[in-house]
Chains A and B, each alone.
Chain A
């Protein structure tokens, strides 16, 4: 047999978003290298425009509408991939907006900062299309390694170092666990393609212990990434020590990328073995919601509170996994579960980014993230107070703010399954929604009802335009989706896997 190298067919249109990102990365590096200090200001602009430019091919691909598959099915561009790429790019754009002044005013390396941020985003866009163990792993490392560096960006700050180191060590550990699981799965399936793994897993004897161990390890590895309890311990320290825009980025985009990988692995690769992963996810979801909320109750620092709240929110996103296999096909089957996870992710991103943007705006004046420093905010920054209240109560799931619909679709999935396990998890979710309200409302109470702390002047908080734009974007999304969930419901609904392998 001739060993002829078959050049794989490359669909450049399908690669559009990634190509644009790579070009922007190159431009960023060159500009920084050639103009040095003189072009410091330009890097955030280039990064922002670049991210918007990368959205263009996402849109053209969505308009073209057909599913595209490359490399034998290892790289697929379908509706699911497009919706999530859109999410990553928009979340990235908002991150650039909230970073602009923070990074510009600090003593930071601007060019490198945006380079890292965009590299991480590139990894995420790849992740949305990766349907192969190898491409998933490569995407994961591509998105994680820059994130480790970004977490320690304040390198003279002790807590920054701790943040970065913890994140790095635990992240690498999680990768190793996951990789071991992947190797076991590959050993049995004989392929790294998720679709082939899916066939092998369903066809083989259900009790094959090797596959069971493999699935458990892979899921545990990603449980670290999405900071599910009991693998969440890195999140609060990392979130507190990292620069606030990066905290926002990690808690939204990076978490979303972990969920994307989980969705692909579980619903394509491991679909036949729900006897292994369904109970795991049930436990993870229940623990994550409950523990995240209970610890959040005790926080006195707003960033840490948001960190634990984002842990708890991840619990809600894990919940549909637990019942996915039980949802009858007539009600969408696993598609229903995927839809609710995606919908939750989209809404959560808007609310959480918004909350962090307010934290940054307030910190510009108070230089503090302590909840007590928010006392009487309503008296000198009524606009920011209203916005923060909108985001917090949206996170709590109070209609007509967007969060209610996110919670609603999750409850719907849980009851869709019609199993006792589903109903039980829904009740756990209800109790947790009430607990969560308590700490979200306590922040609101501080802002609206408490007196201004001693030594705090009553000058207004100046919000720079970029930060203001990000606030406006997030608030508009939070309000609009809450009143007209149709805007996003369709995205959740079409975000299903394509029919191509």
Chain B
């Protein structure tokens, strides 16, 4: 079976692209065929993911598996190295999983100007970029995949988005490009100072010894810019509310569920393991920005009048918990961060799905005009309530295991980090959870409780339809399963997190 193992990850990355090419050849008006091809492609990719999941050796989750190392760009000594360990595996599967559901949801929800062919091709290209980023183990390969997602998302927001779509699309593009341009300079600096290699594993072994500390700090700064803009962390977050609000539902879901994770994943996979010393020096600042993000995001949520914008700002707050977990540089914190990434992907993805369906029915997400969803479309209303509960971190649902351990980890950060400072962060982050409950319940109350406003009192609001059932049930189930059995995920990530933190003495 080794032959299959060798191609598994490459198949996971390039199958969607192959599907996109096939779709290019099918004429535009054959819409059903496009949908079928896209669905089959994402399902096939997901099947590859399941195969990887089954063949993955959980006893050795700390080392890369399904490794492939082939020559790519010899001149600059960059190689096609792919592999998964316990950190990438959950995110890779999340990406494949969400893409299938997005295609299912799209079955009857194509935003204007319709054109399923182009829309689904973009989804597939996005999937290639996202899967590629999670399996790439070479900096240049990582960079290419990291950038591949930009164009499809730009077009998705710009063509299928809301009123302000053009502004939102270019803002998203420019912010991310600026970050990644600095990031590539950082990668080059690692290459020159770290032994003329782009292979992440080799750099982990040599970089911290060969690069002088002052240079490490600067390189980490360049990488920080690239990843922090993508996350997005507090002062760089301004593209996110616009992009989320203007993007079509499917775009918001992919953005929230997966694209944001590329940034946090970059910290865990690249910045921290390669430059642990610099990470330690930067950690207090990262932690500080993270808690500012938590509070700022929460306060901004309370000031929103648009449901989608509110969910977008809640993303800023939630990614703050993930970054706080990362900033503690402890085994505990980073495990929580990876859990938080998956949980946030599922929960916020779901919230955007629900918001999109509400918008489909009522053509507005103004909270002041909504109300009584539970009366008009009870199932939709309950799903919204469920997701809000999950998002505010109710124990027993997945969101809890992303936030609570991250806060707890800040109590006892890695040696060398100021305990007092991180305990202060812990207190602030804990206050943030109260705010989170506040704005989510407030949103739920405004949208779902009470009676419908006069405007929509006689407006027919159909309840959930079959594409919604099909697309949402698996996500809702996973939120419950991961909430009840967090060990399923922690067991996979733990070993790999330990390896990533090897430089900190296995904290």
Could you tell me which A residues sit within 8 Å of B by CB distance?
339, 378, 382, 389, 393, 398-400, 404-405, 408-409, 411-412, 415-416, 418, 426-427, 430, 433-434, 437-438, 441-442, 444-445, 448-449, 484-486, 489-490, 492-493
Of all chain A residues, which has the CB nearest B218? A423
A483 to chain B, nearest CB (A): 8
A493 to chain B, nearest CB (A): 5
Q: Given that A434-B174, A434-B177 are contacting pairs, would A484 and B72 also be in contact in the complex, using a CB cutoff of 8 Å? A: yes
B123 to chain A, nearest CB (A): 16
Q: How far is the CA of A444 from the CA of B74 in the complex (A)?
A: 33
A472 to chain B, nearest CB (A): 14
Say yes or no: B192 contacts A485, CB within 8 Å: no
Select which of B147, B158, B173, B184 is within 8 A of A449 by beta carbon: B158
| Chain A residues, CB < 8 A from B159 | 378, 448-449
| Chain A residues, CB < 8 A from B150 | 398
B27 to chain A, nearest CB (A): 11
| Chain A residues, CB < 8 A from B182 | 430
Interface residues of B in 157-211 (CB under 8 A from A): 158-159, 165-166, 169-170, 173-174, 177-178, 181-182, 184-185, 188-189, 191-192
| Chain A residues, CB < 8 A from B166 | 445, 449
Q: List 14 A-B contacts (CB under 8 A).
A: A398-B147, A398-B150, A400-B144, A404-B147, A408-B76, A415-B192, A427-B185, A433-B181, A434-B181, A437-B173, A449-B165, A489-B75, A490-B74, A492-B75
Say yes or no: B158 contacts A445, CB within 8 Å: yes
| Chain A residues, CB < 8 A from B170 | 438, 441-442, 445
| Chain A residues, CB < 8 A from B165 | 449
B352 at the interface (CB under 8 A from A): no
Q: A418-B192, A438-B170, A445-B158 are in contact. List 16 more A-B contacts (CB 8 A).
A: A339-B75, A398-B147, A399-B143, A408-B76, A411-B185, A430-B181, A433-B177, A434-B177, A437-B173, A437-B174, A441-B170, A444-B155, A445-B166, A445-B169, A490-B75, A493-B75
Q: Given that A399-B144, A404-B147, A426-B185 are contacting pairs, would A486 and B174 also be in contact in the complex, using a CB cutoff of 8 Å? A: no
Of all chain A residues, which has the CB nearest B150? A398
Q: How far is the CA of A43 from the CA of B180 in the complex (A)?
A: 48
Q: Given that A449-B159, A486-B73 are contacting pairs, would A415 and B174 also be in contact in the complex, using a CB cutoff of 8 Å? A: no
| Chain A residues, CB < 8 A from B184 | 408, 411
Of all chain B residues, which has the CB nearest A485? B73
Q: How far is the CA of A94 from the CA of B182 in the complex (A)?
A: 35
Q: How far is the CA of A182 from the CA of B173 in the complex (A)?
A: 47
Say yes or no: A489 contacts B181, CB within 8 Å: no
Q: How far is the CA of A415 from the CA of B186 in the complex (A)?
A: 10
Q: How far is the CA of A398 from the CA of B158 in the complex (A)?
A: 17
Q: How far is the CA of A412 from the CA of B73 in the complex (A)?
A: 14
Q: How far is the CA of A106 from the CA of B158 in the complex (A)?
A: 38
Select which of B151, B158, B173, B185 is within 8 A of A430 by beta carbon: B185
| Chain B residues, CB < 8 A from A484 | 72-73
A231 to chain B, nearest CB (A): 28
How would you classify the secondary structure of chain A's contact residues: helix, strand, loop or mixed?
Answer: helix
Q: Given that A382-B28, A412-B188, A438-B170 are contacting pairs, would A448 and B158 also be in contact in the complex, using a CB cutoff of 8 Å? A: yes
Say yes or no: B188 contacts A411, CB within 8 Å: yes
Say yes or no: A398 contacts B185, CB within 8 Å: no
B165 to chain A, nearest CB (A): 7
A457 to chain B, nearest CB (A): 18
Of all chain B residues, which has the CB nearest A426? B185
B503 at the interface (CB under 8 A from A): no
Say yes or no: B173 contacts A441, CB within 8 Å: yes
| Chain A residues, CB < 8 A from B185 | 411, 415, 426-427, 430
B159 to chain A, nearest CB (A): 5
| Chain B residues, CB < 8 A from A437 | 173-174, 177
Q: How far is the CA of A393 from the CA of B151 in the complex (A)?
A: 8
Q: How far is the CA of A415 from the CA of B173 in the complex (A)?
A: 25
B148 at the interface (CB under 8 A from A): yes
Select which of B72, B118, B151 is within 8 A of A398 by beta carbon: B151
Of all chain A residues, which has the CB nearest B192? A415
Q: How far is the CA of A405 from the CA of B144 in the complex (A)?
A: 10
Interface residues of B in 108-162 (CB under 8 A from A): 118, 140, 143-144, 147-148, 150-151, 154-155, 158-159
Q: How far is the CA of A400 from the CA of B142 in the complex (A)?
A: 11
Of all chain A residues, which has the CB nearest B183? A430
| Chain B residues, CB < 8 A from A412 | 76, 188, 191
B21 to chain A, nearest CB (A): 11
A482 to chain B, nearest CB (A): 8
B34 to chain A, nearest CB (A): 14
Say yes or no: A486 contacts B151, CB within 8 Å: no
Select which of B76, B148, B169 is within 8 A of A489 by beta carbon: B76
Of all chain A residues, which has the CB nearest B160? A449
A486 to chain B, nearest CB (A): 5
Interface residues of B in 65-107 (CB under 8 A from A): 71-76
Of all chain B residues, which has the CB nearest A409? B76
Of all chain A residues, which has the CB nearest B144? A399
Say yes or no: A404 contacts B75, CB within 8 Å: no
Interface centre among B73, B143, B158, by most chain A C-beta atoms within 10 angstroms, is B73
A3 to chain B, nearest CB (A): 51
Say yes or no: B118 contacts A382, CB within 8 Å: yes
| Chain B residues, CB < 8 A from A449 | 158-159, 165-166, 169
| Chain B residues, CB < 8 A from A434 | 174, 177-178, 181
| Chain B residues, CB < 8 A from A389 | 151
A481 to chain B, nearest CB (A): 11
Q: How far is the CA of A433 from the CA of B178 in the complex (A)?
A: 8
| Chain B residues, CB < 8 A from A445 | 158, 166, 169-170
Q: How far is the CA of A411 from the CA of B118 in the complex (A)?
A: 34
Q: How far is the CA of A400 from the CA of B74 in the complex (A)?
A: 17
Say yes or no: A400 contacts B177, CB within 8 Å: no
Q: How far is the CA of A484 from the CA of B155 in the complex (A)?
A: 25
Q: How far is the CA of A382 from the CA of B28 in the complex (A)?
A: 10
Q: Given that A399-B147, A489-B76, A490-B75 are contacting pairs, would A438 and B174 also be in contact in the complex, using a CB cutoff of 8 Å? A: yes
| Chain A residues, CB < 8 A from B191 | 412
| Chain B residues, CB < 8 A from A490 | 74-75
| Chain A residues, CB < 8 A from B181 | 430, 433-434
